[in-house]
Structure 1
Amino acid sequence: MRALGIAQVEDDPGLQCAADGFVFPFDAALATETMNQLRDAVRRIRLVHTFSKGMGLAAPQIGVPRRAAIVFPAGSDEAITLVNPRVVDQSATLDVPRYEGCLSFFDVRGRVRRPLALTVEHQREDGTLERSTFGGSVGRLVAHEIDHLDGLLYSHLLEPGERLIPVADYRGTGVGWHY
């Protein structure tokens, strides 16, 4: 992934720092530019890898310390764009621990619990405010990307006794999450 322009945890301490938000209307052009950079990175990544569980990418992962992310649900080419996202509500019930991966340390997987649903306040590239609720696998992807914007890695969320495993030992490759 490094060769595709994706920052790697071992090389980039910025992945563990909170990203700066956009101030609208002043940062509208910067937000559009950042989202275009994310779309370009996704195109490069998709040329070499498919993602059965969907995929997401946060601006800090391409070296841009801003609150922007893009998520593609499994089986979809329609992007969910998130500018200045923040979780405003989440279900009290957590999902069972499920394996996640990350483009910033692509060779391992780890089991993480996430809320079954979350409501996110976010903006469009032009600053228009939106509120969206995401659940199931899409909610998991969105939560993962928002964590990136807060400087939190999924490896920080492993439960006691859990550890990251090499992708060679992971048996769920090519299998999507079932809800």
Structure 2
Amino acid sequence: MTEPAGGKALFSDAYVREAVAAVLEADGLPGIVQAGHPVLRARAVPFTGQIPADELARLIAVMRATMHAAPGVGLAAPQIGIPLQLAVLEDLYEVPADNAAARDRRPLDFLTLLNPRYTPVGPATASHYEGCLSISGWQAVVDRAVAVDLAYDDEAGTALRRRFGGWQARIVQHETDHLAGILYLDRAHTRSLTSDAEYAAHWSRPDIAAAREVLHF
């Protein structure tokens, strides 16, 4: 790893291959690295075939299992120590109807993203509490685009474009941000920051109106 001007860490293809090998050769699922780990603040390396198709498929399977075990609805490769532009998404959890309606949360079938880039669709934003597996135990309110257009490659290398809205758009933005070294706290209303316990006690409502009024953000 080298450190260029501007503070962005650059990882080599060799580093990526070594990191992938370490994950695939380990017993059990990898740990999810936490804020402060350097790979979370680096721009991940674009996938250009650094690992063969069979290793990529195994890595995707490991990431999916790790995401489920956490549990979470998305996981980016940097979160398991691999600085590669790869993320997996899946949201099939049952949630209360009022919560789903307020957040426009609909099921999202499993999806693999390579080299994703999103563009907001229009100026509309939505504000909701958001957490991260790499900032364990905390949540904060983040304003996100209501809809985004996503350009990405699938695991077969096919270039695709897809529009996402509502909670699906939030997941896409959160995980794609990870690949640029951005954590949700960089975009959050910091006065809204709450531990999971305090969130459960006070702010676990379909919308953020009460939190906004009391916490003054």
Could you tell me the TM-score, scaled by structure 2's length? 0.67
Which whole-Å CA distance do the structure 1 matches of 2:167 and 2:133 have between them? Answer: 17
| 2:91 paired with 1:73 | yes
State which of 29, 37, 46 in structure 1 corresponds to 2:52. Answer: 29
Q: Which residue of 1 aligns with 2:195?
A: 166
What are structure 2's unaligned runs of at least 5 residues?
Answer: 1-28, 94-106, 208-217
Cα separation, partners in 2 of 1:150 and 1:67, compared to 1, 3 Å? same
Cα separation, partners in 2 of 1:146 and 1:172, compared to 1, 3 Å? farther
Q: CA RMSD in A?
A: 2.7
Q: How do 1:125-140 residues align onto structure 2 when only pairs under 5 Å count?
A: 125-140=155-170
State whether residues 30 and 80 of structure 2, in contact with CA within 8 Å, keep that contact through their aligned partners in structure 1: no
Q: Which residue of 2 aligns with 1:102?
A: 132
Shift in Å, 1:4: 4.9
Deviations 1:104-162 (A, max 9, x none): 01200011010000001000112110001111011101100000001000001013x52
Q: Which structure would you say has the larger Rg?
A: 2
Identical-pair percentage = 32
Which whole-Å CA distance do the structure 2 matches of 1:43 and 1:107 have between them? Answer: 21
Paired positions, count:
165
What are structure 1's unaligned runs of at least 5 residues?
Answer: none
Deviations 1:56-114 (A, max 9, x none): 0001001110111011124358311111101144331111x211110001200011010
Cα separation, partners in 2 of 1:101 and 1:149, compared to 1, 3 Å? same
State whether residues 108 and 168 of structure 2, in contact with CA within 8 Å, keep that contact through their aligned partners in structure 1: no
Give runs of ≥4 in structure 1 deviating > 6 Å: 175-178
